[in-house]
Amino acid sequence: MKKFLRYLGLGLLSTFLTATPGLGADRISFFYPPFGEFSLSVDSLETFAKEGKIDEELSFYASRATPQQLAQLRDLLQQRFNVTPTLVSQVTYSPIGEELMQRLGELLLTESRNNGFYAIRASLILAAADQEGLTLVNLLRRFPSDTIRVNFTQGLKIVDDLSQVLKKKDEVFASLQKEAIAQAATSKIDFSQQPDLRSPGKFSWQKKTLELNDISRNRRLPVDIYLPTTQNSELTTENSLSPPFPLIVISHGLASDRSTFVYLAEHLASYGFAVAVLEHPGSNAERIQLYFAGLAGSPDAAEFINRPMDIKFLLNELERLEKSDPTLQGKLNFQQVGAIGQSFGGYTVLTLAGANINFNQLTEDCNPNNSSFNLSLFLQCQATELPPKNYELKDDRIKAIIAINPINSSILGEGGISQIKIPVMMVAGSQDIFAPPVFEQIRPFTWLTNSNKYLALIENATHFSAIAESTSQNDVLPVPTALLGPDRAAVYSYLNALSVAFLETHLLNRPEYRSYLQPSYATFISKEPLNLSILQSLSPEQFNQIWNGSTPHSAKPSNLQPTLTSP
């Protein structure tokens, strides 16, 4: 009975409320055999939210919670989400939103014990339209049923499975950090006597904006080019860089734009790299704003093809303009091209590097019975709408890539990732819930077959830690502060330094920069709480041993795919 009461306490209630923003109407009811049915009125929650008072009904649950849990619950109940009813409607009526609502509806049932799909969607839209805005209490009040019934048994299983996955993730991250620290301890390099790659380089640069028009695909591509200047002849001699400059292309994630990585573009330009930052019109901030306003459809599956094709078109156009535009003439080296992408942009650069879409893996992972905790599958599985064929997405001009929080586990899979033959750096954040690090970066890292590969792990970093602060033009997704993570300045400095080191080493063939890619350099520049680690190797067998909690190298690796995709 003690164990049951512990589950029945406010901790579980808080978990349900946090994960699913709409749990009832007048009452929240849950049945837990053999103990019977339990319930809690919305009035009790509203009184607690507004006045901080715990009435007799709520006290049964509150007595089993810590003061910290109660404070967190009250903060959650008071939280107002600044979203419009149009935005909520667009999201919940989209294919991804409908799938999410359907899954939530299996847990949150109507009074007649039917799937709560329609009731959840209606209450979200009505609450967002209310003058008090979308709050949990207001949402509960708008639920079109006197009582919402929680599928408590299924909920407990999901909470337990999720806890196990999160525990495993933490164990994997901690084990890899420990290995990186052990490797760093053997280094004798004094980085305090080395140039600080976190600081800007010595090149000045100019910014040039273009708007390219791919008539064949009806896509207009805004592009900002950061071009190093060569006014100081001593500078080019000192850095042994002169025109034409190596070219780096940066691909943003979903709902972002070309301002997302301005800090990185400017930093690379200061080291003598020409940087082209484009926008993908089918999935940039402007398109998502139009979608949320009801003026455009949701990004479609063709975007998985159009994004790498955007970069191919960009390179083709720059090659053409380099021959005719005086400001670009003789300035771009198309024998030394690198690419950097984040999230959806991470997928984009992986395909350009040679990874093909893996339709067999998508079919396996995107079946309706797959109850994965990998949120990125909602996006990846849209690719099942594409005609299955071999799309020519690779661009041989690209010689090295950096993929930050990439999504790839199902749409590319091992079959796709293993085709990449050029140097790759993957960057993962331990608290990334949208592209979970174990699923989307750490395990895929083991599939890379080129020995020039690097895995940068950033403890406590989220999916948003690498991107610049939002502007009024691209602030289209209302991201709660808790999901942004700690101050991002440290992550910016890591990416600035590692990008220079990686590109100097593998694009320009300068071995003197290779020391900056060692675990000891990560330890040197690491700052709490965003601790940085770097690994240069991790085999599938080693990963399996870490995941399964075993260490002997003779241990037989298990098949992790069912565990990872269907916890």
**In whole angstroms, what is the distance from residue 506 CA to residue 343 CA?**
22
Query: Between vectors from CA 67 to CA 66 and to CA 70, what angle results, nearest 5°?
Result: 90
Pure H helices in 344-441: 344-352, 359-365, 377-380, 413-417, 437
**In whole angstroms, what is the distance from residue 540 CA to residue 537 CA?**
10
Report the DSSP pairing between strands 245-251 and 219-228: unpaired
Residue ranges with strand state E in 243-324: 245-251, 274-278
Residue 133, amino acid: G
Determine if the peptide bond prior to 444 is cis (ω within 30°): no
Q: What is the pLDDT along the chain (567 residues), one digit of tens a residue?
A: 333 333 333 333 333 333 333 344 577 776 655 556 677 888 888 888 888 898 888 888 788 778 887 887 888 788 887 777 877 887 788 777 787 788 788 878 888 888 888 888 888 888 888 888 888 888 888 888 788 787 777 776 776 777 788 888 999 999 999 999 999 999 889 999 999 999 999 999 999 999 999 999 999 999 999 999 976 544 544 445 689 999 999 999 998 899 999 999 999 999 999 999 999 999 878 887 777 667 677 789 999 999 999 999 999 999 999 999 999 999 999 999 999 999 999 999 999 999 999 999 999 999 877 667 788 998 999 999 999 999 999 999 999 999 999 999 999 999 999 999 999 999 999 999 999 999 999 999 999 999 999 999 999 999 999 999 876 665 666 666 667 889 999 999 999 999 999 999 999 999 999 999 999 999 999 999 999 999 999 999 999 999 987 643 333 333 333 334 333
User: How buried is residue 391: exposed, middle or buried, by Cβ count under 10 Å (0-12/13-18/19+)?
Assistant: middle
Paired with 31 in beta bridges are 37
- Give counts: helices (H), strands (E), the chain: 25, 13
First CA to last CA across the chain, in angstroms?
27
Determine if the peptide bond prior to 34 is cis (ω within 30°): yes
- Within 10 angstroms of residue 19's Cβ, the number of other Cβ atoms is 14
pLDDT value of position 36:
61
**In whole angstroms, what is the distance from residue 54 CA to residue 48 CA?**
6
Closest CA to 407 of 488, 353, 466, 350: 350
Residue 565 has which token pair?
Answer: 């995709």
* CB contact set of 507 (below 8 Å; sequence gap of 6+): 246, 336, 337, 338, 399, 400
Paired with 440 in beta bridges are none
Q: Are 110 and 119 in contact (CB under 8 A)?
A: yes
334 SS3 class? strand
Domains and CATH numbers, the chain: 2-150 (no CATH), 173-565 (3.40.50.1820)
User: How buried is residue 465: exposed, middle or buried, by Cβ count under 10 Å (0-12/13-18/19+)?
Assistant: buried
**In whole angstroms, what is the distance from residue 503 CA to residue 277 CA?**
16
Burial 181-215 (b: 16+ CB within 10 A, else e): bebbeeeeeebeeeeebbeebebebeebebebebe
Q: Are 520 and 189 in contact (CB under 8 A)?
A: yes
Closest CA to 220 of 289, 303, 313, 288: 313
pLDDT value of position 193:
94
**In whole angstroms, what is the distance from residue 274 CA to residue 327 CA?**
12
DSSP string, 503-524: HHHHTS--GGGGGGGSHHHHHH
Closest CA to 382 of 311, 303, 437: 303
Residue 134 has which token pair?
Answer: 């979308």
Pure H helices in 54-151: 56-62, 67-78, 85-93, 95-107, 117-129, 136-142
- Which residue bears the tokens 């991804």? 96
pLDDT value of position 471:
66
